[in-house]
Amino acid sequence: ELKEKLCSSPVLRLYNPGAHTELHCDASSIGLSGMLLHRGDDDHLHLVHAVSKKNHCGGKTLPLNAIRMRHYLIGLHFVIVTDCQALVHLNTQMTISPQVARWATLLTEYDYEIKHRAGDKMSHIDALSRAPVEVAGDTKTEIINEKMEVLTLVTEEEQVMALPRTDTRLKTIVDILCREESGHSVSESALVKEYVLESGLLYKKGIVVRFHDLSGHFSVDRTVGKIMESYYFPRMRRYVRSHIRCCPECILTKVPRGKQPGSLHLIMPEKRPFEILNLDHLGPFVKSTRGNQYILVMIDNLTKYVKLYAVRSCGTDGVIASLEKFILQFGIPRRIISNRGTAYTSRAFGEYCSRYGIKHTLNSVRHPQANGQVERVNGTLVPVIQATMETDRTWDKHITEVECNLNNAYNQTMGDTPFYGLYGYFPSFKDDVWDDSTRLQERVRERIAKEHEIWKLRKGDIVYIKGPPEATVESTKLQGVVGEADPDRLQEEESAEQLSKSFAVLSPGVVKTARIRRPPRWHEDYKI
């Protein structure tokens, strides 16, 4: 647990001159120690810097900590905390010890106050003073007699001005440019026609070096754009392109983009999905709360359908366990293509492939292009996982969602999505279901509104009134007579549309010929 705490961030806090600062000091018979601490936003002290060294002068060397941390403490108000009660009165009483007087003089340049704390509450600093470093640090005399070293800095312009003088050819060019142009011979004019001397600086090659070699080794477009902000010379882009093409750092560190020389050797797919399966591990990631650090990526050579499995390690056991889950869902592949990792070259994996009749093909060494399909998916996976994870330790909780998004994204090689290539239809998701339900409700509403018939009643039409059910032993659904009608409901001022909701309209002929064997559901006929 101690090792884990020491390896977990943050071990030390960044120095903040605006925070409350305390210097905890302690001295023992064998060592001297000090801790610089800041009070954080949580109102707790956090370690910023710690020192310790072997000691030969006892407790009188305690104030040396302030001098060793001078670059942190000068100009700030800080508190010195110690378990030595005598130091509290360092500045309040006279001393006859010349050594203590010298230390008090050295400390006058600091803005500090000394506080006493009991020894049982200073165990954190006691541990350093009782286990100092083997080699003693600076002695008292070295610290007192410390001298400031003065460094001479040469500016970039001075370096550029001095460099041409070190090269014979460039020195000749500079000397020619320093003379009047009218005094140049034909050969000298041809030599210096691509160079300009301005304010003692020789321009052309130096400009490209400054904006490419000394500015991050960017591409041709970025380098030319940066140069054109301040300078210009003819055929600039062609010159910059040739310079970058010969730049050693760019050749060694950058990967060429675009089409590369050589022919492609395609792996022809089989006739059904998952007959050829490409495998590879992606990681390691930060160890998740579930203990996973890697992703085992499987991709079908025919439909480009991707399966992702979060595993704890790159071992054979994780690969076999993931293949067992895959086989239960999609069946046994006829061929597996992978790199030469130990998980795939082990005897256990070979026996597993032999037991199921799987042909295992290994890539050539240091040639990941042979398994290009899964390598292309790996390049897409990392930014997608970074965008979906909540914290570094929960990246594996969204593996299924990432897999679904990959399989339902358009694939240029397939001309469709991998999901459609495997199952033959496009799946519906939450947003699609909501949109479909809204459209369905709108269609039903339009159909009902279109087919709904508004009754138009005229005075003299015969109607039957439907009444409420009665409390009888017979079911209300089977009752013929549903109650007495109230003639008062038939008022002339009611509109035809309102009446259509309460009455059934019959023509006089239907009323005369209708034979009702059960008691009528509708009350006696009335006239409007």
What confidence score (pLDDT) does residue 261 get?
A: 66
Q: What is the pLDDT of residues 31-62, one digit of tens each?
A: 888 888 999 888 888 888 888 887 655 445 45
Distance (Å, whole) CA 525 – CA 528:
10
Q: Which of 52, 77, 47 is nearest to 64 (CA)?
A: 52
CA 47 and chain centroid, separation? 29
What confidence score (pLDDT) does residue 355 get?
A: 92
Tokens found for residue 320: 């076999």
Task: Name the DSSP class of 416.
Answer: B
Q: What percentage of the chain carries pLDDT values higher than 90? A: 10
For residue 516, pLDDT over 60 is answered with: no
Distance (Å, whole) CA 279 – CA 202:
56
Tokens found for residue 347: 């005897």
The domain made up of 276-423 is a member of CATH 1.10.10.10? no
Q: What is the pLDDT of residues 65-121, one digit of tens each?
A: 667 788 888 888 999 898 888 777 776 666 557 777 777 777 888 888 888 888 888
**CA distance readout (Å), 520 to 251, 402, 461, 476, 525:** 99, 66, 19, 13, 11
What confidence score (pLDDT) does residue 179 get?
A: 81
For residue 523, pLDDT over 90 is answered with: no
Could you tell me which residue, 479 or 311, shows the higher pLDDT? 311
Domains 1-153 and 276-423 are alike in CATH topology: yes
Domain ranges of the chain: 1-153, 158-253, 276-423
Q: Comparing 6-20, 143-157, 259-273, 512-526, which segment has the lowest mean pLDDT? A: 512-526
The predicted model gives 478-483 an average pLDDT of: 48
For residue 502, pLDDT over 50 is answered with: no
Pick the CATH number of 1-153 from 1.10.3470, 1.20.140, 3.30.70, 3.30.420: 3.30.420
CB contact at 8 A, 313 and 294: yes
Q: Comparing 159-163, 343-347, 349-353, 385-389, which segment has the lowest mean pLDDT? A: 159-163
For residue 381, pLDDT over 50 is answered with: yes
- Report the first-to-last Cα separation within the chain, whole angstroms: 94
What confidence score (pLDDT) does residue 503 get?
A: 46
Tokens found for residue 23: 């210097």
